[in-house]
Amino acid sequence: MKLLKFVLGLAMAVALTACGGGGGNPGGTTPNGGGTSNAGDTQTTAVGSVSLALINGAGQATNSISAVEIAQVKVVVKDAAGALVSGTVVSFSESGVGLLKFAPAAQTAMTTSEGLAVIEIRAADQTKTGATSVSVTATVGGQTITAVKTLEVTNAPVSGGVVIDPQTLASSINFVSTDPADKSIVLAGAGGNGRTETGVLTFRVVDKNNTPVKGVLVDFVVNPSNDVTLNIAQGTTDADGVVITSVSSKTVATSVVVKATVNGKSITTQSDQLKVTTGLGVQAGFEILPLVYNLDGALSGDSTDVTARLVDINSNPVADGVPVVFVATGGKIGTSAAGGCNTLNGACTVKFEVQEPRPANGIVTVSGSAKVGESTTLLRQINLHMSSAPIGIYEPAAGVPAAPLISPLPVALTSCTKRNLPYMVANALGYSAPSGTTLSARGDDATGLGAAIGPDNTVLDVGNFGASLFSVLVDPSSANNPTCNVNGIAITGATVEVSANAPTSKRVTKQSIGVTYPAGNLVLLRPNSAATPASITIGACNVSETTEVQAIGSDGLAIPAGATFFVSPSDSNAVAGVYTANPGATVAGALAGSATLPVSSSDASRQSLWLVVKAPTSGPAACSTTGATAGTGTITLDVTVQIGTRRNTQTVTVTYPMKS
């Protein structure tokens, strides 16, 4: 009903505004906007409008208030198109003789999304009455518009000189406010600058006309009652109908409400929730951590943030403004204005920068301290690393530091599949490379051997300052000069270049890793000739033929000393033959050879091999010199060279006489 009355009253005021006022109606408004005029006609520039109404405690539009009454001035602001204007500041003032008092005291209010701004007024002195006016001013579309409302302050109602008990006048009690405004106090002992352990709660008692009632006794209770102290259990309203109570925190984080009841009556209300949080910081809840542990000591100005975080025993952030002081054993921490910071939401940050003094080992200790309470100081320490020692690549088995950095012996690859080679990156003192150092690997251009860093090519930031493991992925299958051959007769050498690039100073370290891989096929040649040998011819049965061939690897690769040759038949026709590799080591139909083969004097890259062959004397393909029809028998020999576990084979054809 009150809302309906207000809307009707406000609509009337708006209508009066649109009509330019109303014949002396004291409830009307007087809009005032900008305009222009020319001789002979009048042009009016469209501006916004301000409409206002005076609303009494019963929610009714009125032209007067009593000397003890609290009323509201409600304003609606619209633009030139008639749309409601939100977010604009409306200023209120009295243009009369000082009969009114405004709340808030700033005498301003901001319009809501409905274009509404509201302020309270009451008599400045309950003994003074008379007529006055309220002016409002707002800016719409860059133009200032105003409106005026006249009203009368009348005497307070009396009851024929009879003294009335204030308790009987009380009609309702309302919660007004909490101080602090954020409705939060800190735990006992955590108070200080900007932090309070006590909350003040304000209530107001009014009569049925919404007039404040003085002298009303009000009782207070707090819930929960054991977690805080209720400082005022009973109070009496002042001339403004206002009564206050307060609660003080203990050591328990909680939320409480205060219930206010008019003594002797069932008129009651309760406050908003008052939070009790944020105690003193504790050692277990204090930490300092850097954004980066490992800095580039070779570059002055390389920096990282160091953040302090502090919570109380309940893991709530401490109150804002707790100072944290930092000191360091090297470099620079903080600013010229402060060597520390003040917490905001339980944390604060300072900057650490690389500069002199630089400790010999590059390890800098940063200490952060915070004083809590009267005599307790919390302390935490961390180490940062800012060495400028050279970065190197190390064998993981050797540890760090080690010399030489990488083993002079090449890594032997025994297959043509990809292989990860583990290494470590660190500086010459054995500490971590700067955080963010990137690693790269480049294969051998001469052989085509592929290489890459895997799986991650960036040095991670570690707080223990140790060397970082990484791997080099070598791909022998990409080699093409010579091509990798898992059964190759030779071992080929290649190199992989590994680089470490510091992120800020751009220091680059390059080191080479030796790699070998198998390559080449067995090739049999005529002695002292580049031609492959013709077939071996046996001229007579039961006669052993001894033939020299020379073995070499493809791509010009030499067969290494210590290689073993084996000769064996590759078909059933040769089961009765005798095959050897070198005179004096004859084994019929089986393997034969020598662990160390002689080298031909004519070509040091070749191995001489003597094949001793006897044609088969029995079976369907037996050697024969008698018979009606002359023919030629053929058998195939497999000549195999073995180097370690690798075997590589070449075939030789043998012909012999056969008649039927």
pLDDT tens digits along 107-130: 999 999 999 999 999 888 877 889
Average pLDDT over residues 149-164: 70
Q: Tell me how many degrees the CA angle 92-93-94 measures, rounded to the nearest 5.
A: 140
Model pLDDT, residue 396: 77
Position 283 pLDDT exceeds 60: yes
Could you give the percent of the chain with pLDDT greater than 90?
37
Six token digits for residue 150 = 């006249």
Task: Give 293's pLDDT tier (boundaries 50, 70, 90).
Answer: very high
Instruction: State the burial class of residue 516 (Cβ atoms within 10 Å of its Cβ: 0-12, 13-18, 19+).
Output: middle
Position 11 pLDDT exceeds 70: no
215 Cβ contact partners less than 8 Å away, ≥ 6 residues apart: 166, 236, 237
235, 345: one domain: no
369, 431: one domain: no
Model pLDDT, residue 596: 34
Mean pLDDT is lowest, of 109-118, 160-169, 473-482, for: 160-169
Position 220 pLDDT exceeds 90: yes
Q: What is the edge-to-edge ordering of all strands in the sheet holding 143-154?
A: 64-66, 143-154, 130-140, 89-94, 108-110
396, 370: one domain: no
Position 619 pLDDT exceeds 80: no
Position 588 pLDDT exceeds 60: no
Task: Give a yes or no: residue 161 inside a domain.
Answer: no
Instruction: Give me the CATH number covering residue 356.
Output: 2.60.40.10
Q: Where a domain ends, among 519, 536, 556?
A: 519
Model pLDDT, residue 78: 95
85, 114: one domain: yes
Asked if 311 contacts 355 with a C-beta cutoff of 8 angstroms, the reply is: no
**Beta bridge partner(s), residue 657:** 632
89, 176: one domain: no
Mean pLDDT is lowest, of 19-28, 139-148, 178-187, 364-373, for: 19-28
Classified as helix, coil or strand, 477 is: helix
DSSP 191-215: -BTTB-SEEEEEEEEE-TTS-B-TT
Helix (H) or strand (E) run with residue 13 in it = helix 2-18
Task: Give 555's pLDDT tier (boundaries 50, 70, 90).
Answer: confident
Mean pLDDT is lowest, of 226-235, 441-450, 587-596, for: 587-596
Model pLDDT, residue 346: 92
Given CA atoms 388, 393, 399, 402 in this order, what sign does their dihedral have?
A: negative
345, 427: one domain: no
Asked if 467 contacts 430 with a C-beta cutoff of 8 angstroms, the reply is: yes
427, 372: one domain: no
Helix (H) or strand (E) run with residue 245 in it = strand 242-249
Task: Give a yes or no: residue 189 inside a domain.
Answer: yes
261, 190: one domain: yes
Task: Give a yes or no: residue 159 inside a domain.
Answer: no
Rg (CA), the chain: 51
Mean pLDDT is lowest, of 152-161, 218-227, 491-500, for: 152-161
Q: How many CB atoms lie within 10 A of CB 597?
A: 20
How many domains are there within the chain?
5
Average pLDDT, the chain: 80
Task: Give a yes or no: residue 282 inside a domain.
Answer: no
Average pLDDT over residues 443-460: 84
352, 446: one domain: no
Average pLDDT over residues 303-329: 92
* Domain range for 189: 166-277
Which residue in 523, 516, 540 sits closest to 657, CA to CA? 540
Average pLDDT over residues 307-331: 91
Model pLDDT, residue 255: 92
Query: What is the rounded distance in angstroms from the CA atom of residue 153 to the CA atom of residue 290?
Result: 67
Task: Give a yes or no: residue 160 inside a domain.
Answer: no
Task: Give 593's pLDDT tier (boundaries 50, 70, 90).
Answer: very low
Whether pTM > 0.85 for this model: the answer is no
More confident residue, 570 or 40: 570
pLDDT tens-digit map of 507-517: 788 888 889 89
Model pLDDT, residue 605: 63
Model pLDDT, residue 629: 67
Q: Using omega within 30 degrees of 0 as the cis cutoff, is the peptide bond preceding 180 cis?
A: yes
Query: What is the rounded distance in angstroms from the CA atom of residue 365 to the CA atom of residue 358?
Result: 11
Instruction: State the burial class of residue 127 (Cβ atoms within 10 Å of its Cβ: 0-12, 13-18, 19+).
Output: exposed
106, 137: one domain: yes
498, 457: one domain: yes
Task: Give a yes or no: residue 284 inside a domain.
Answer: no
Average pLDDT over residues 456-470: 83
Task: Give a yes or no: residue 208 inside a domain.
Answer: yes
Task: Give a yes or no: residue 285 inside a domain.
Answer: no
Model pLDDT, residue 374: 73
Position 269 pLDDT exceeds 90: yes
Q: Where a domain ends, among 472, 496, 519?
A: 519
Model pLDDT, residue 46: 66
316, 396: one domain: no
Average pLDDT over residues 446-470: 84
pLDDT tens-digit map of 249-262: 998 889 999 999 99
456 phi and psi angles, rounded to 5 deg:
-125, 130
pLDDT tens-digit map of 381-432: 999 999 888 888 888 766 555 445 666 778 889 889 999 988 888 888 888 8
Distances (CA, A) of 121 to 12, 29, 94, 176, 527: 21, 18, 10, 15, 124
Mean pLDDT is lowest, of 34-48, 186-200, 526-540, for: 34-48
Query: What is the rounded distance in angstroms from the CA atom of residue 306 to the CA atom of residue 291?
Result: 6
Q: Where a domain ends, among 110, 125, 154?
A: 154
